[in-house]
Structure 1
Amino acid sequence: MSTRSASPSGDAGFNVCCFLRLPQLCSTCVAFSLVADMRTPRGAIGNWAMSFWCICFAMTFVVAIVECCRHPSHLPFFWYNISVTYACYAALLCLSASIIYSITYVQFLPYGPNRDRAIAASAFSCIASVLYVIEVAGMRAWYELKEIFFYVHTMRALLKVLETFVAGVIFAFLSSPSLYLHQPALEWCVAVYSICFILAAVVLLLNLAEWEYRLPVPFPLFQLVLTLLSVLLYVSALVLWPLYQFSEELGGQPQRTSDGGCRDELTYDMCTWDQRRAVAVLTAVNLLVYVADLGDWARQVSVGTEDQPRDS
């Protein structure tokens, strides 16, 4: 394990990031408090958004406590990778909550205090996502990356974050087992999402803990094989999920109007057809991310080198 410590400029960056904790905590707290105070049923969408804001608030609070109790020079180096990785996830969580909550819930609310609270919650969620992005960008600018290497600031790390995050959103839309339990092909798709999520999470954790070189095989080759496997699995899911969900011959519903639960009004829950469509779109998005990841690792293996920290 590396014993590197932060540089003086790193301490400055650490202190600035600490000042971001309070507005991050306030914005996420206000977001879920406004929604919790609404006197109308929140439904699955409201509960889903609230859970995201609560998770971000709780994790930010834990990070703030750790950073307040320990001087940056006493924190292990991998802590900075972990905290920046969390900031990446928090930014994506708050941004996705703002977008989905606004599109599927807020726009259907009647004008009044509840609508105003919902709009304000979405606004504070956007503010929180911006604050987390500032933290990620700030850590990159404030620390001397020519001397201290941050795995999270590499393209391959950002791709892993995206792969696991998109898979997590897919799982959120698959919260109803009725979407897939009636067809073995759809159950296979859910297995694909789970397997690929676990593989990407393992690789991300190996890199964050700096254990990637303890493997018995070269890490680029190991990563290339796992990514190729994930691409093939996602290709099968991209074919099977729309085929069995939207093909009438296979028991699917080709049109949104064929789902009686889908109406252009506030229903507090996303209808089944929209959930199916969301999973199909996210499957295609994650496949593109995996293909980009595969191309990067294929290039690494072909030249036989890995990206190293840049020389000062």
Structure 2
Amino acid sequence: MDVETFCLCFFRLMQLLSTCVPFSLMASVGTGSVVVGNWSMFIWGFCFTVTLVILIVEFCHIRDHLPFSWYGFLTIYTCYATLFCLLTSILYPTTYIQFFPSGPHRDYAMISTTFSCIALVLYALELLVLWNWYQGKGGRIARYMYTTQGLLKLLETSLACVIFGFISNTNLYLHQPALVWCGAVYSICFVLSSVAILLNLGKCDNRLLLPLPTFLLGLTTLSILLYTSALVLWPLYQFVEKLGGQPQRSSDVSCGDRLTYLVCTWDQGLAVTILTVINLLIYMADLVTLAHLVFVRTENQPTVS
């Protein structure tokens, strides 16, 4: 066993521990109806499960029989796990622990945050090992998530997952068709970004009627238009009283019961608005990157006389 393989095995065993502990602690005390708590538990459970599957596949030598690039999958998963653990390590203590009174529940939550930060470090270290291991192999599948386009797609889909965590509270949008449309926009754009990642990883350049960068440029433009509509409609119908929204936080009765709603409905609506703005900016940066790739490549192509 070489040094890289030993490091990866060690990191994954420690990742299992650092995600199992917070999940088990919070499962034992419960999170009630708190969106951030439930979302954090899902992330820890998801990372534990996928990491365990990876270890089983590695030890049983099944990877060579899989119908996709195993190394590409490892790179993508580690990127997502790193970012998700980062978001959880920030959101969980800032929107959850601070409302707890002193006692066992607060201690469990602080321990969970500590292990979440440890998991973040471990996944980040695995990402570095994978990059050093694969950069000499010359494979586009292994390196795509390290490019500007890959990182932007990673951010787009990750922020969409955070938005999904907040809008899992259907009280935010089911009462207004315009808000239901916004929920559909987040889902559609997530699917479009996921398709873009799969097209890049699947080497589909020769299977499309258009060049791949041009096709991705179209997908990103569509996503920007959809997100722009969500950015207009979501705050209007959430915070404008004439449209059925609540302009003041104090008007939301759930914000007064901190023991039950640590992140109340009004705060969740505001969080979705902020995340929508951030993700729209990321999509715009993605559009600029793709436009530069498409038009510069076109200009640099030799003309036929």
TM-score when normalising by structure 2? 0.89
Does the 8 A contact of 2:172 with 2:269 survive in 1? Answer: yes
Which stretch has the larger CA shift, 106-115 or 221-230?
A: 106-115
CA distance in 1, matches of 2:154, 2:31: 33
Which residue of structure 2 aligns with residue 142 of structure 1? Answer: 133
Q: Which residue, 225, 228, 238 being the options, matches 1:232? A: 225
Unaligned runs of 5+ in 1: 1-7, 306-312
Q: Which residue, 287, 291, 294 being the options, matches 1:294? A: 287
Q: Within 5 Å, which residues of 2 pair with 1:1-312?
A: 12-38=3-29, 42-44=32-34, 45-70=36-61, 78-145=69-136, 147-149=138-140, 150-263=143-256, 265-304=258-297
* Larger helix proportion of the pair: 2
What secondary structure is seen at the aligned counterpart in 2 of 1:147?
coil
CA distance in 2, matches of 1:99, 1:302: 39
What secondary structure is seen at the aligned counterpart in 1 of 2:254?
coil
Which residue of structure 2 aligns with residue 5 of structure 1? Answer: none
CA distance in 2, matches of 1:183, 1:73: 50
What secondary structure is seen at the aligned counterpart in 1 of 2:39?
helix
CA distance in 1, matches of 2:265, 2:104: 29
Q: CA deviation at 1:111?
A: 1.1
Residue correspondences, number: 295
Q: CA deviation at 1:265?
A: 3.3
**Considering only aligned residues, what root-mean-square deviation do their CA atoms show, in Å?**
2.2
Over 3 Å counting, the alpha-carbon distance change for 1:41 and 1:236 in structure 2 is closer
CA distance in 2, matches of 1:203, 1:37: 39
TM-score when normalising by structure 1? 0.87
Code of the aligned partner of 1:215: L
Does the 8 A contact of 2:254 with 2:261 survive in 1? Answer: no
Cα deviation code 1:220-250 (max 9, x no counterpart): 1100111011111111111111111111222
CA distance in 2, matches of 1:175, 1:75: 33
Does the 8 A contact of 1:25 with 1:60 survive in 2? Answer: yes
Q: CA deviation at 1:264?
A: 7.4
Code of the aligned partner of 1:16: C
Does the 8 A contact of 2:89 with 2:113 survive in 1? Answer: yes
Point out 4+ residue stretches in structure 1 off by more than 4 angstroms: 71-77
CA distance in 2, matches of 1:282, 1:13: 37
Does the 8 A contact of 1:231 with 1:290 survive in 2? Answer: yes
Does the 8 A contact of 2:21 with 2:112 survive in 1? Answer: yes
Q: CA deviation at 1:83?
A: 0.9
CA distance in 2, matches of 1:208, 1:195: 20
Code of the aligned partner of 1:190: G
Does the 8 A contact of 2:15 with 2:119 survive in 1? Answer: yes
Code of the aligned partner of 1:136: L
Over 3 Å counting, the alpha-carbon distance change for 1:20 and 1:203 in structure 2 is same
Over 3 Å counting, the alpha-carbon distance change for 1:71 and 1:271 in structure 2 is closer
Identity of aligned residues (%): 55
What secondary structure is seen at the aligned counterpart in 1 of 2:183?
helix
Cα deviation code 1:67-99 (max 9, x no counterpart): 122288888882111111111111222222222
Cα deviation code 1:41-72 (max 9, x no counterpart): 54333332212111110000001111122288
Over 3 Å counting, the alpha-carbon distance change for 1:36 and 1:268 in structure 2 is farther
Which stretch has the larger CA shift, 40-49 or 230-239?
A: 40-49
Which stretch has the larger CA shift, 270-279 or 186-195?
A: 186-195
